[in-house]
Amino acid sequence: MNFIEQKLKGVFVIEPQVFGDSRGYFMESYKKELFEQYVGPVDFIQDNESRSSYGVLRGLHYQKGEWSQAKLVRVTQGRVYDVAVDLRRSSPTFGQYIGVELSDENKRQLYIPRGFAHGFAVLSETAQFCYKVDNVYAPQHEATLRYDDPRVGVVWPVKAEEMLLSDKDRVGLGFDEIETFE
């Protein structure tokens, strides 16, 4: 596995080594020892999966305070544009984002530590999105940063008129209104 730290400290693109032949392929999608060597210790406690159609935009979500979550995300079918926004006030990249295409073809994963908002837009007809988290889902501590907040300025590769958003995502808070991290 190749661990590539991004411009946002603590965020990594992880490229697995894929062994393929005429029968298909094999890869390790997670290996605790390697992960901890490059990223550090993270105690993942749950695996989640979602399926969405083209244009669905989920995010930008995060959980506040002690309910914050680190995530290791990947796509097992289709393609998404995955985004992490740095909400750590003490970070030199506070308010900046990283966007990475994840797909079943490139098999890349994105590790997002605690202190970030996260979301993705589906670029293929459908996409199956899988992720590990290190903390339980606590809906009463969840928050949504507006996907189109001008201060953050995420450039989504899906046209606004093609985006499919939940009510929660459509009315997310602006960057200056959200609760951030130390």
Any idea which residues carry the catalytic annotation?
61, 131
Non-local (6+) Cβ contacts of 87 within 8 A are 62, 94, 95, 115, 116, 117, 145, 178, 180, 181
116-154 burial by CB neighbour count: b if 16+ within 10 A, else e? bbbbbbbbbeebbbbbbbbbeeeeebebbbbbbbeebeb
